[in-house]
């Protein structure tokens, strides 16, 4: 693998360190400003900065939930409330003996993590809007409990916030505490964002079905993210309690929750730097425009509207290098991805699937063999895509069995198909428009990583190895479909035909034993179809079983070893291309004269 990508890497290395510096310069400047701010010796500015850091600790985690995973967690202020009361109550000795403040802060992180997961659970079942409402409902409950549970929280009168002892004592000590924690939160979430987990989150957001087909399990991943976002929210709460020095339930307003949420949206979804700046701006702005504070809700809304209309991608879009329109130069196809061929055999027997009264598949038998291209043709609505969806585990048929090498495959578990190395593309390409072509292809290899979520968060060696291997494999897959020159381009800048090839490259990342293509030639020019044919043929020669759904008869008859014709969910004919071409019923019903 290393050898094959060497020329590509060498070309990229030239501009490598400069591009790296360019990517980091904003962070370096922000870090320097933060480190040197105490030189101003202005405690008022210091307090504003502390508030901004604390908010960012929460927003950094929330950013993974909202910006990356696309979950509308609008009431995340509840984590701040929980954390603030946990730290304050424990440190003040409202429950048992007083805890050391640092330990109390740690406890608020744990409480935040636990409740982050609890609040996040509904996201697995509820649609976006309803999930937003549950997070808001939870925030209200937390405030009500804080009001009622007087022994611990002091009720409406409140309770004193903790004072951290040396080295992070009030003043610049505490300032650096907040700064370091904000930097740490940034570092960890940026690591996640740039890892296979981050790409998987974005895939869940923008192309959920494709994410599942790549083997990504939404529940497991979302729970990790809710846990991290909850923990960071809880810790932010503990810091907030100390900053406020006295906390009452009305310190945690709906407006604050909206601030966190909007800060991320203004920053731009799927970015770390954008939301960090967004949160910073929203925290600092009201301080310098005090008379406007009573208008803040209105101003937030106006600002959001403006951003959505003028720069829909947020601040991040203005800074985004991937946002440049490429000059497409797809190289000739032909460099083939080495697949480790086996003798996989996939059999469908007696599959029946109806949607209400519609018999989409009506007793289908099919065999797909390694090293062969199996064409699946038929008029529109004859059940081709549905057959693919059954094989990829998306639907559960009412009758029949699906086996791979004799083993029964379960239905309705699309993400488990990746373990059997069954990959697919979609009739309408499903890609993450905001991610680069390379990142999109890397999503296809998510299941091959070995590092855990925590290892990625801390950027440990196994995570880095994962990333290197994944990137190399993705570049190889891209070269094999002739698109390596577009690796760094945003996927939504590509032409339709290019998207189809990117999807194939993503599917190749699984090193598929079986590859299913749903009308890959649709929308392609004659020349592109010719290249596609060569590519598919080469993939099957490597030992992969290919199931090809297609309308272009020429392509089917050129490259298929075997063809099955469907009509109304039933097999109308099956055989070699020559047999099908001369099959009377097929010719009269489908192929025409
Ligand atoms: P093809 O890919 O061969 O054009 P499909 O497999 O998409 O056809 O569809 C087969 C039949 O099943 C069509 O009549 C279609 O309307 C119906 N169908 C497919 N998916 C669904 C669904 N999710 N709900 C209801 N009907 C469906
Ligand atoms: Mg179809």
Residue with the smallest CA separation from ligand 1 atom 6 is 383
Look at phi and psi of residue 511 and say left if phi exceeds 0, alpha if psi is from -120 to 50, else beta. left
Ligand 1 contacts CB of residue 357 (under 6 A)? no
Would you list the domain boundaries of the chain? 53-252, 264-321, 345-591
Q: Are 470 and 196 in contact (CB under 8 A)?
A: yes
Omega of the bond leading into 167 within 30 degrees of 0 (cis) = yes
Ligand 1, from 351, 383, 412: best to mutate by most atoms within 8 Å of Cβ?
383
Per-residue model confidence (pLDDT) at position 432? 94
Per-residue model confidence (pLDDT) at position 539? 86
Residue with the smallest CA separation from ligand 1 atom 22 is 355
Instruction: Give residue for tokens 């979430």.
Output: 189
Ligand 1 contacts CB of residue 552 (under 6 A)? no
Per-residue model confidence (pLDDT) at position 301? 76
Ligand 1 contacts CB of residue 425 (under 6 A)? no
* Residue 397 structure tokens: 């048929």
Residue with the smallest CA separation from ligand 1 atom 7 is 385
Per-residue model confidence (pLDDT) at position 320? 55
Q: What residues are paired with 159 via a beta bridge?
A: 247
Crossing angle for the helix pair 77-92 and 101-120, to the nearest 10 degrees? 150
CA 500 remoteness from chain centre: 20
Ligand 1, from 351, 353, 361, 386: best to mutate by most atoms within 8 Å of Cβ?
386
User: What span, in angstroms and rounded, lies between the C-alpha atoms of 280 and 23?
Assistant: 19
Ligand 1 contacts CB of residue 399 (under 6 A)? no
Residue with the smallest CA separation from ligand 1 atom 18 is 360
User: What span, in angstroms and rounded, lies between the C-alpha atoms of 589 and 593?
Assistant: 10
Ligand 1 contacts CB of residue 385 (under 6 A)? yes
Q: How far is CA 84 from each of CA 28, 119, 130, 156, rounded to the nearest angstrom?
A: 30, 17, 27, 15
The secondary structure of residue 436, as a DSSP letter, is: B
Omega of the bond leading into 199 within 30 degrees of 0 (cis) = no
CA 150 remoteness from chain centre: 42
Instruction: Give residue for tokens 């189809």.
Output: 500
Fold (CATH) for 345-591: Rossmann fold (3.40.50)
Q: Are 346 and 297 in contact (CB under 8 A)?
A: no
Query: Residue 84: in which H helix or E strand, if any?
Result: helix 77-92
User: What span, in angstroms and rounded, lies between the C-alpha atoms of 196 and 202?
Assistant: 10
Distance 336 CA to ligand 2 centre (A): 27
Ligand 1 contacts CB of residue 567 (under 6 A)? no
Pick the atom of ligand 1 nearest to 549's CA. 2
Ligand 1, from 381, 384, 565: best to mutate by most atoms within 8 Å of Cβ?
381
Ligand 1 contacts CB of residue 355 (under 6 A)? yes
* Residue 44 structure tokens: 């008022």
Distance 550 CA to ligand 2 centre (A): 9
Distance 420 CA to ligand 2 centre (A): 23
Per-residue model confidence (pLDDT) at position 413? 84
Per-residue model confidence (pLDDT) at position 306? 79
Point out the ligand nearest to the CA of residue 209. Answer: 1
Nearest to 391 by CA among 216, 545, 202, 499: 545
Q: What is the pTM of this model?
A: 0.77
Question: Consecutive 10-residue runs of the chain (593 residues): their mean pLDDT?
Answer: 42 53 82 92 92 97 94 94 97 93 97 97 83 93 95 92 90 95 96 95 90 92 97 98 94 88 87 92 81 74 75 68 35 40 82 91 93 92 94 93 89 86 93 94 93 94 94 88 87 88 93 92 85 87 90 91 93 92 82 61
What digits encode the pLDDT tens for the residues 499-527? 999 999 999 998 888 999 999 999 888 87
Distance 284 CA to ligand 2 centre (A): 53
């Amino acid at each position: 693998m290393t050898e094959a990508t060497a020329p590509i890497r060498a070309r990229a290395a030239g501009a490598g360190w400069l591009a790296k510096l360019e990517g980091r310069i904003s962070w370096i400047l922000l870090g320097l400003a933060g480190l040197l701010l105490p030189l101003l010796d202005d405690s008022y500015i210091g307090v504003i900065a502390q508030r901004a850091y604390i908010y960012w600790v929460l927003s950094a985690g929330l950013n993974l939930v909202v910006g990356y995973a696309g979950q509308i967690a609008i009431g995340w202020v509840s984590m701040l409330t929980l954390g603030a009361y946990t730290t304050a109550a424990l440190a003040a000795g409202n429950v048992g003996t007083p805890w050391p403040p640092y330990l109390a802060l740690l406890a608020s992180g744990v409480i935040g993590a636990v409740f982050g997961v609890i609040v996040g659970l509904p996201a697995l079942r509820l649609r976006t809007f309803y999930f937003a409402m549950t997070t808001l409902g939870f925030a209200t409950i937390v405030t009500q409990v804080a009001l009622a549970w007087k022994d611990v929280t002091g009720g409406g009168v409140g309770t004193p916030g903790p004072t951290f002892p040396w080295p992070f004592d009030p003043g610049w000590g505490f300032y650096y505490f907040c700064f370091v924690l904000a930097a740490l939160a940034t570092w960890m979430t940026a690591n996640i964002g740039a890892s296979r987990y981050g790409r998987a989150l974005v895939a869940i957001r923008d192309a959920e079905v494709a994410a599942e087909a790549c083997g990504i399990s939404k529940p497991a991943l979302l729970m990790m993210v809710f846990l991290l976002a909850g923990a960071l929210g809880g810790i932010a709460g503990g810091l907030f309690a100390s900053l406020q020095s006295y906390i009452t339930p009305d310190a945690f307003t709906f407006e604050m929750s909206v601030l966190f949420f909007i800060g991320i949206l203004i920053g731009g979804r799927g970015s770390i730097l954008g939301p960090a700046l967004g949160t910073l701006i929203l925290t600092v702005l009201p301080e310098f425009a005090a008379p406007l504070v009573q208008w803040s809700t209105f101003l937030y809304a106006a600002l959001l509207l403006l951003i959505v209309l003028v720069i829909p991608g947020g601040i991040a879009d203005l800074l985004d290098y991937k946002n440049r329109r490429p000059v497409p130069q797809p190289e000739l196809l032909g460099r083939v991805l080495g697949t480790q061929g086996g003798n996989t055999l996939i059999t469908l027997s007696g599959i029946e699937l109806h949607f209400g009264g519609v018999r989409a598949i009506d007793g289908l038998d099919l065999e797909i063999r390694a090293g062969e291209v199996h064409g699946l043709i038929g008029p529109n609505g004859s059940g081709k895509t549905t057959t693919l969806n059954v094989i990829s585990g998306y639907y559960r048929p009412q009758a029949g069995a699906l086996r791979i090498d004799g083993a029964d495959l379960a239905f309705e578990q699309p993400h488990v198909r990746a373990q059997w190395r069954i990959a697919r593309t979609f009739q309408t390409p499903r890609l993450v428009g905001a991610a680069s072509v390379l990142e999109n292809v890397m999503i296809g290899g998510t299941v091959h990583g070995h590092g855990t979520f925590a290892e990625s968060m801390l950027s440990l060696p196994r995570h880095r190895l994962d990333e290197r291997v994944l990137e190399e494999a993705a570049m190889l897959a891209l070269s094999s479909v002739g698109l390596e020159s577009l690796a760094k381009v945003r996927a939504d800048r590509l032409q339709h035909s290019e998207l189809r090839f990117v999807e194939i490259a993503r599917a190749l990342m699984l090193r598929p034993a079986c590859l299913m293509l749903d009308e890959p030639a649709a929308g392609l020019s004659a020349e592109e179809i010719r290249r596609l044919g060569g590519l598919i043929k080469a993939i099957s020669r490597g030992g992969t079983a290919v199931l090809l759904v297609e309308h272009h008869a020429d392509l089917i008859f050129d490259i298929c070893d075997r063809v099955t014709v469907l009509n109304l969910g039933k097999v109308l004919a099956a055989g070699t291309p020559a047999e099908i071409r001369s099959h009377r019923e097929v010719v009269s019903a489908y192929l025409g004269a």
